[in-house]
Structure 1
Amino acid sequence: MHRRMTITLDEAVYEGLYRTVGKRRMSQFIEDLLRPHVLDTTLDDGYRAMAADQAREAEAQEWCNGLAGDMRDETR
């Protein structure tokens, strides 16, 4: 769902935006710039990419299992 919003820009900024992206693409350009700053998905995307790396996941699982084994063998 999209919401309509009115913003105020300095005239020079507006003209530069108009020249750079064109009138019909301003909203998408601004949204693409703002999205990473207002939606905290960067960390989620990073975790998703790490989970997709099967070799890395196997190595991490092996490390965790080894650590758990070390803790079990440790005398208290």
Structure 2
Amino acid sequence: LCFVGEVKFKNKKICKNILNLLKSKAKSLNLAPNYYIIISKNGFSKEIDKICEQNLLLLDLNDFKILLEE
């Protein structure tokens, strides 16, 4: 399995452009990822949320809350 991902810790939502850049980086490295993973501090734009790709995982800080609970 091959995973390619990026973490963005910005005060704005992540847009589709970040996914396109990630795919471009993978292609330039001759990678064929099974999954693309993007982790965002402040969530995602409506545009990227609408993308229904089975190999795309979008995670924000809320997805990690359970790890912080005692």
TM-score (norm 2): 0.26
TM-score (norm 1): 0.25
Greater per-residue strand proportion: 2
Larger Rg: 1
Greater per-residue helix proportion: 1
- Larger RCO, structures 1/2 (Cα 8 Å, 6+ apart): 2
